[in-house]
């Protein structure tokens, strides 16, 4: 027998309260019973998103809602500013290109945050830009972008600001209404403590104005159809009923803890991981702009990074993430995201220490855990 732990930046582990409620017999969605749950979920999502706007729900992974943001806001040959600097920023550029939207890239070195001034100058040079696409937490590099500053800049232009907040939601401070964000994208398998399968979108007035003008084709991911469904509590298509019921439970848990406490918990856990990384004489991949949802760490040159992740999973049942694309084998990523607490961090750090030691990296046993304990006791 081996107990398994999941500390990847999606999917994340799901609390038993949520698992149990999802295992109930299926109810029909055109019933009073379901509409009651749907209404509660709509309110809970507004709280999680910290917005007064409706939050639309789709049955897809996060990328579905990212694609919806492109196809519902833009028209063929529109121009969009896309912040790169990681796998998920690049995904927005790929979606735009697939839909015939011209991409003006803001290239950012992987591991660094975008400089808001760069967005300002690109917008000034290209006043016809319709939308700016960026990421709250760039999961592939463990970087948090300064959305508040970016929002203040974009608000002075006609362009809408679209934020992929997928891995940041329910983990890191995020206030789209105050920060002038027009479109927020979220999904279920990260900070929400749910299995994969749901994606979310919220839009400001400015965002909805673009939706009204958009000429790109869409059908299932039509934001207008989904909004109508919220008004009438009738989903346009069969909703992912069990996931919505689980979402209701997860949102109640978040509401009970309080969103600020949820953010504080994540920042405390991430601070402990960062302290442990230093105690192990390892280097953070994004030391200046480290996100709290996921910590990216450079693999020391004498160690095989792919083997490290594999061994931690196979020998200790501890699943963390490796690097993606050109960072494969070069970094590993520990998520403190969603249903994560003090002893998840202690366990992952102990497993990391033991694995590093077994791979021949010189570490003092207990040093990482001690460094984390010092932070976690504060």
Ligand X SMILES: *Cc1c(COP(=O)(O)O)cnc(C)c1O
Query: What count of other Cβ atoms lies within 10 Å of the Cβ of residue 66?
Result: 25
**Spatial CB neighbours of 145, under 8 Å, sequence gap ≥ 6:** 83, 113, 114, 134, 135, 136, 137, 138, 289
Whole-angstrom distance, CA of residue 164 vs CA of residue 128: 22
Shorter beta-carbon distance to ligand X: residue 291 or 368: 291
Shorter beta-carbon distance to ligand X: residue 62 or 151: 62
Taking CB under 6 A as the rule, does residue 353 contact ligand X?
Answer: no
Shorter beta-carbon distance to ligand X: residue 139 or 336: 139
Could you say which of 13, 139, 204, 353 contacts ligand X (CB under 6 A)? 139
Max Cα–Cα distance, the chain, nearest Å: 62
- Applying CB under 6 A, the span of 19-27, 56-64, 214-222, 302-310 interacting with ligand X comes to 56-64
Instruction: Give the nearest distance from C-beta 114 to ligand X in angstroms.
Output: 14
Whole-angstrom distance, CA of residue 30 vs CA of residue 284: 50
Whole-angstrom distance, CA of residue 152 vs CA of residue 119: 11
Could you say which of 61, 222, 295, 319 contacts ligand X (CB under 6 A)? 61
Tokens of 231: 């008004």
* CA atoms within a 13 Å half-sphere pointing along the CA-CB vector of 182: 28
Beta-bridge partner residues of 214 = none
Q: Which of residues 153-172 bind ligand X (CB under 6 A)?
A: 164, 166-167
Number of residues that bind ligand X (CB under 6 A): 12
Q: Is 265 annotated as a binding residue?
A: no
Shorter beta-carbon distance to ligand X: residue 239 or 316: 239
Query: What count of other Cβ atoms lies within 10 Å of the Cβ of residue 115?
Result: 16
Taking CB under 6 A as the rule, does residue 88 contact ligand X?
Answer: yes
Taking CB under 6 A as the rule, does residue 63 contact ligand X?
Answer: yes
| Residues making up the binding site for substrate | 333
| Residues making up the binding site | 333
**Residues forming the site for ligand X (CB under 6 A):** 9-10, 61-63, 88, 135, 139, 164, 166-167, 187
């Amino acid at each position: 027998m081996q107990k398994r732990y999941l500390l990847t930046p999606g999917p994340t582990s799901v609390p038993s309260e949520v698992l149990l409620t999802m295992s109930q017999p299926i109810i029909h969605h055109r019933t009073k019973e379901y509409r009651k749950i749907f209404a509660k979920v709509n309110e809970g999502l507004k709280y999680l998103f910290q917005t007064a706007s409706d939050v639309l729900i789709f049955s897809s992974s996060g990328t579905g809602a990212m694609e919806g943001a492109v196809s519902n806001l833009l028209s063929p040959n529109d121009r969009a500013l896309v912040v790169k600097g990681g796998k998920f920023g690049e995904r927005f550029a790929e979606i735009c290109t697939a839909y015939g939207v011209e991409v003006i890239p803001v290239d950012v070195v992987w591991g660094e945050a975008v400089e808001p001034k760069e967005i300002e100058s690109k917008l000034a040079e290209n006043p016809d830009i319709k939308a700016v696409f960026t990421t709250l937490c760039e999961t592939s590099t463990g970087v948090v972008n300064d959305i508040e500053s970016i929002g203040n800049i974009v608000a002075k232009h006609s362009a809408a600001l679209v934020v992929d907040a997928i891995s940041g939601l329910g983990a890191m401070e995020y206030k789209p209404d105050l920060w002038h964000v027009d479109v927020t994208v979220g999904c279920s398998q990260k900070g929400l403590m749910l299995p994969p399968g749901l994606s979310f979108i919220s839009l400001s007035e400015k965002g909805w104005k673009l939706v009204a003008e958009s000429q790109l084709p869409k059908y299932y991911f039509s934001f207008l159809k989904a909004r109508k469904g919220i008004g009438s509590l009738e989903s346009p298509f069969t909703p992912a009923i069990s996931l919505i019921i689980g979402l209701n439970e997860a949102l109640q848990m978040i509401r009970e803890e309080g969103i600020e406490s949820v953010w504080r918990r994540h920042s405390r856990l991430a601070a402990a991981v960062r302290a442990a990384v230093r105690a192990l004489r390892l280097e953070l991949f994004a030391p200046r702009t480290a996100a709290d949802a996921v910590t990216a760490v450079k693999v020391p040159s004498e160690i095989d990074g792919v083997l490290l992740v594999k061994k931690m999973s196979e020998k200790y049942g501890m699943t963390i993430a490796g690097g993606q694309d050109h960072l494969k084998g070069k970094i590993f990523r520990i998520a403190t995201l969603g249903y994560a607490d003090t002893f998840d961090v202690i366990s992952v750090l102990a497993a990391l220490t033991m694995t590093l030691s077994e791979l021949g990296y010189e570490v003092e046993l207990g040093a990482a855990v001690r460094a984390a304990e010092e932070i976690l006791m504060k």
